[in-house]
Amino acid sequence: MIKPRRRRLCRALAVLLLLGTTAAASAADPARIDWDEWQVPHVTAPDLPSGLRALGWAQMRLRGDSIARAYLSARGTLAACVGEEALAGDIRTHQLGIPDRAREWLVAQDPEMRAGLDAYAAGMNRWLQHHPKREGVAACLQTVEPSDPLALVQALLHVGVAGHSLATQAEQWREQRGSNAYAVAPARSADGRTLLLINPHSPWRDPFTVLEQHLVVGDTNIYGMTFPGLPLPVMGFAQRHGWALTFNDVDGVDLYAATLEGDGYRFGDGTRAFTRRTVQIDVRDATGALQHLDLTVRSTLHGPVIAERDGKVLAVRIAGLERPHLLRQLWDMWQAPDMARFKQALAQQQMPITNLVRAGADGSIYYLFNGLSPRRAKGDRSFWAGVVDGGDPSLLWSDYVPFADLPQVENPPGGFVQNANDGPTSASWPTVLDRASLPATLTDDRRTPRGRRSLALMAGAGSVSLSDLAHMASDSGMDTAGLALPWLVPAALAASDAEVAGLGRVLQGWDGTATPASRGGPLFAEWSYLMRRAGMPVPAADIQQLPALGGRDEPVGVPRALTILREAGRNLHKRFGRVDVAWGDAYRIRRAGLDLPSPVGRDELGAFNAGRYQPVRDAGGATGRFDLVDASHFIAAVAFGPSGPEAQGLLAYGNKDDPSDTATRGQLTLFSQGKLRALSFTNEDVAAASREVEQMEMNP
């Protein structure tokens, strides 16, 4: 073990060595990066441009491959690097005008944010200049432009999430979302501090991977997660407040069918001309040569044309593409000293989608069903979910539901707010929002088994400590098990078939969780799958009732359910040689050269710590084992008190693209064990955790 004095000497030597490659720090720009053992960059800088310059360098060091792919895709130039596999995406990017609009957005930035984007790009370019030997997609990114992050904002949030109907990849993101968030008031916390749980979920692959970073600019100290290629954390915590985001069902995209007439299209009582522009798309062929494709993009008053059929064109209108100041809003949110200023920042309405859950050191807790929901003259959700008449002027919207009219819950009597991708009326318990008062096209106000589990955990918790909150993040108890087992187990135990009765005993001994050593979960999961396949999904209790009230009367068809249970048991015995299989034997995390037991439950079964799995197959077909492909990634449990925040957290799959990284393997192991690590936030904590230092000078 290195003694403290020796450790300080090693750090000093590391600084000198790094300064030899990055030049001496300038007094005008003394930005500093402290790297901890988990490969988290802790950036300290006197102003925003200096801090973002350092973060540009740090992000490129961490996830250069991810950033290269993301930027090239957002530019519509990925096919020139990887070939025809990216052509459809490049065409869609240019149809939607993302590259040109990103340059327009850059011009619209205020001086501080423009300087920050310039510096962020400069930091990335400095890293590229110092690391010219790159392979794969990373070799195709020669220079980063200040407009690249703005193109990425559009590609990720406006098209990738809000515009989920436009691409299969985005549909996967929308379908696989599974984020959780809590804010707990001091009256409900064990020590009088305000608590926050940040627990987003998404697929563990690009373009959905995230990174963890820490930025201190003057008096602004922010720690959180962002997407590689975006400069600011999109969620996390600061000195006196923090927030989590979860995806919601704001419908910010509409499809219009317009009838062709001559060289234009019919609109109202007349004909309108298309707006036309031509772009060139380069595609690398199998020989390595570039082929050139000229693409003519037509647009109606609604938006760009993305398809044509039977004398009609299909145009798309996406909310928020005329609002270029998301990064400014984020920075204002991070700097907001209190709830009133925080709401002022939110009222800028630059975010196209997401729920928000906030906690503050002043004891305030807050939920917002956030997003840009068009103010539509007529129709309900089902009407706008289809293709609407592009010739009807009354259907062309131009503004959004104002911030004041969005569903919000502040300091409810239950002492907590939550979201698990369910609707706004379940934000608290007892509920304080009325479903009938919600705008007709705003939300379906949906309910999910995981959302019921989330409510049950917090509503039944009594007083909650920071440690309790951290344990909740790893809770894998399955909501559907609580509904089904009360009738399934007695029926199985009473069966005359000894095989079925034995399976009932397995389920009777199961604790209802997906902890790796727990036996019985794979049997229940297999039975649930076979029940759904047979058209007999596991029943749900009254969705308006608190889950703690328990299950309901047994469903019709119990004999059929027992027959399916026997089939499930035989499937497990065939694959594993036993029916009481441990969860961690069937459900695995195979990543970065590791093969670990998974502690993650299945989302469709209502686990709070939920994920989605991919079946493992071999030459003989299904093996009965599953690989985790979508789950929690950045987790932070935070307590806000008079002395500042205390936080525990994790980035499950690590902070680097390199799968051989020791820190990546360490975090995966902690995740498998259901553990979190301390997050270094104060200057003293960062200094103690620092393992390497880099300092950035003013000019490359």
Q: What residues are designated binding site? A: 251, 253-254
Binding site members for Ca(2+): 251, 253-254
Closest by CA to 90, choosing from 68, 66, 73, 102, is 73
Residue 686 and residue 672 in contact, taking contact as beta carbons nearer than 8 Å: no
Two structure tokens written together for 225: 């997660």
Helix (H, G, I), strand (E, B) or coil at 665: helix
* DSSP E strand boundaries for 227-371: 235-237, 241-246, 253-261, 264-267, 270-273, 275-284, 290-299, 305-309, 312-318, 355-360, 365-369
Alpha-carbon gap, residue 198 to 473, rounded angstroms: 9
Please list the residues that pair with 270 across neighbouring strands. 267
Two structure tokens written together for 371: 């997003």
Helix (H, G, I), strand (E, B) or coil at 177: coil
Q: What is the CA radius of gyration of the chain?
A: 26
Two structure tokens written together for 335: 């700097």
204 Cβ neighbours under 8 A, 6+ residues apart: 591, 628, 629, 630, 631, 633, 652, 653
Please list the residues that pair with 32 across neighbouring strands. 44, 695
Residue 633 CB-density burial (10 A; 0-12 exposed, 13-18 middle, 19+ buried): buried
Residue 55 and residue 120 in contact, taking contact as beta carbons nearer than 8 Å: yes
Task: Check residue 208 and report its DSSP letter.
Answer: S
Whether 179 is a known active-site residue: answer yes
Two structure tokens written together for 452: 């019921």
Helical (H) or strand (E) element with 224: strand 220-226
Nearest 10 degrees: CA dihedral of 410, 411, 417, 421?
-10
Closest by CA to 155, choosing from 104, 103, 102, is 102
Task: Check residue 539 and report its DSSP letter.
Answer: P
546 Cβ neighbours under 8 A, 6+ residues apart: 429, 455, 456, 459
Helix (H, G, I), strand (E, B) or coil at 639: strand
Alpha-carbon gap, residue 441 to 433, rounded angstroms: 17
Residue 153 and residue 394 in contact, taking contact as beta carbons nearer than 8 Å: no
Nearest 10 degrees: CA dihedral of 644, 649, 655, 659?
160
Residue 299 and residue 275 in contact, taking contact as beta carbons nearer than 8 Å: yes
- Measured CA angle at 549 (ends 543, 554), to 5 deg: 75
Catalytic residue, chosen from 179, 476, 632, 690, is 179
Closest by CA to 564, choosing from 607, 507, 519, is 507
Helix (H, G, I), strand (E, B) or coil at 614: strand
Closest by CA to 246, choosing from 114, 167, 355, is 355
Q: Are strands 253-261 and 387-389 parallel, antiparallel or unpaired?
A: parallel
Catalytic residue positions, numbered:
179
